[in-house]
Structure 1
Amino acid sequence: MNLVRVGDAWAFRTAGDLGHLMVRETVESRKLSRAAIETLAIIAYHQPVTRAEIEEIRGVAVSRGTIDQLMEMEWIRFGRRRMTPGRPVTFVVTEGFLDHFGLESARDLPGLKELRAAGLLESRPMPGQAAARDEDEDEARSGQSELFED
């Protein structure tokens, strides 16, 4: 321990060569709620985005606590205000978000093909494709039954 002068007072400080012994690091892991994950994804992929746009995409109201949690984690921040009536504030992801996920920029976020390949999205057919696929399967089955009727 060293006695050092701090302004008009004196204080005890740990010696520099022993400082590593006094450091206690803990990792606090917090699991994000589904709403927070959805909100973060919308902001990341659609930035800059307003709260109203987030709510329109999600189909439900965005809780103030969800936005606060993401801001507290320093993964999102306020962007510029839109030049529309009411001048709503926008949200964008931060450098901390990009660093946490190992991205250089938001353009490096995975696309739909990469997400499906990683098994993170269901590979559902587009509307209209399902009907065409079902018709093909019906034709294939009817052709097989004709072959086996003899």
Structure 2
Amino acid sequence: MSNDPQAPENELDPSLFEAPPMGEQERMVEAVLFASADPVTIKDLTARLPHGSDPTTALVHLEKRYEGRGVRLVRVGEAFAFRTAPDLSFLMRRETVETRKLSRAAIETLAIIAYHQPVTRAEIEEIRGVGVSRGTIDQLLEMEWIRIGRRRMTPGRPVTFVVTEGFLDHFSLESARDLPGLKELRAAGLLDNRPPPSGAETEGEAPSESEEGDLFDGDAALGSDAPDPPDGAR
């Protein structure tokens, strides 16, 4: 109860009420995640749940409860969401494939940003060896797969680009650190397994331009393959 004698009688201190049982908190978190179109952060869950609730523990319990089910509780950056189990994603592909195509320039630019973030436009152009059009950057920004990061403390204060949680969610990644390396990509058949010619890059160095273009099928489709590291960053 408020100590202010002028405060309304119905103004109650939320700390006077006990938090709901953990089972009820799990149900609340589950409902919020199912109803949300976007991944939800612990901060958002804390704001929605009754005072004293522990959404972090509720998420741990939910994650265990959904193990082996058709949907799983996954972490997307700093947020959480329910997603189709990876081994069942083939059932959803027909429904989730979008018709939008990514140009080769957009594919290469996205791969460079993913593996080198934060990266400036000039650095992208240096890695690709050609200029990057404004349209390419705008397309990736419009798809919400990249966003503008912090400005570099260098002459001109250029902006940097980083991938978004939407990109991580689309490719089922918890963070950019989960992007595959060259060995994993070759093992999955996404890169040419033939040995490089004499003088070509070695393991850990940049793959050729032809390799970069093979990592996406050009469709913004759920379960698409992750981009190849254009400059060996891991």
TM-score class, shorter-chain normalisation, is 0.5 to 0.7
- Deviation sequence 1:35-55 (CA, Å, 0-9, x none): 100000000000000000000
For residue 162 of structure 2, give the secondary structure of its aligned residue in structure 1. Answer: strand
SS at match of 1:102: coil
The alignment's TM-score, normalised by the length of structure 2, stands at 0.42
Q: Does 1:112 align with 2:182?
A: yes
Using the aligned pairs only, state the percent identity.
Answer: 89
Instruction: Provide the C-alpha distance between the structure 1 equivalents of 2:200 and 2:146, rounded to a whole number of angstroms.
Output: 37
> Is residue 2:153 matched to residue 1:87?
no
- CA distance in 2 between counterparts of 1:128 and 1:51 reads 26
Alpha-carbon distance change, 126 to 49 in structure 1, aligned in 2, over 3 angstroms: farther
2:127 paired with 1:54: no
Deviation at residue 97 of structure 1 after TM alignment: 0.2
Q: Normalising to structure 1: TM-score of the pair?
A: 0.65
Q: 1:125 to 1:117 in 2, by over 3 A?
A: farther
Q: 1:125 to 1:94 in 2, by over 3 A?
A: same
Which position in structure 2 is the counterpart of 1:142?
none
Note the residue ranges of structure 1 that are not aligned, 5 or more in a row: 1-24, 130-150
Higher-helix-fraction structure: 1
| Partner Cα distance (2:155, 2:110) in 1 | 25
> In the aligned structure 1, how far is the partner of 2:160 from the partner of 2:198?
31
Residue of 96, 116, 120 corresponding to 2:166: 96
CA 116–85 in structure 1, closer or farther in 2 if over 3 Å, else same: same
Tell me which residue corresponds to 1:127: 199
Q: 1:30 is matched with which residue?
A: 100
Q: Which secondary structure does the structure 2 equivalent of 1:37 belong to?
A: helix
In structure 2, C-alpha distance between the alignment counterparts of 1:52 and 1:72, rounded to whole Å: 20
* Alignment-mate amino acid for residue 127 of structure 1: G
SS at match of 1:70: helix
How many angstroms apart in 2 are the aligned matches of 1:80 and 1:122? Answer: 36
The list of structure 1 runs, each at least 4 consecutive aligned residues, that deviate by more than 6 angstroms after superposition, is none
Q: Could you tell me how far apart the structure 2 residues matched to 1:110 and 1:69 are?
A: 24
Higher relative contact order structure (alpha carbons within 8 Å, sequence separation ≥ 6): 2
Task: Choose 1 or 2 for highest CA Rg.
Answer: 1
Instruction: Please state if 1:69 is matched with 2:139.
Output: yes
Match of 1:45 among 107, 115, 119: 115
Residue number in structure 1 paired with 2:23 = none
Name stretches of at least 5 consecutive residues in structure 2 with no aligned partner: 1-94, 202-234
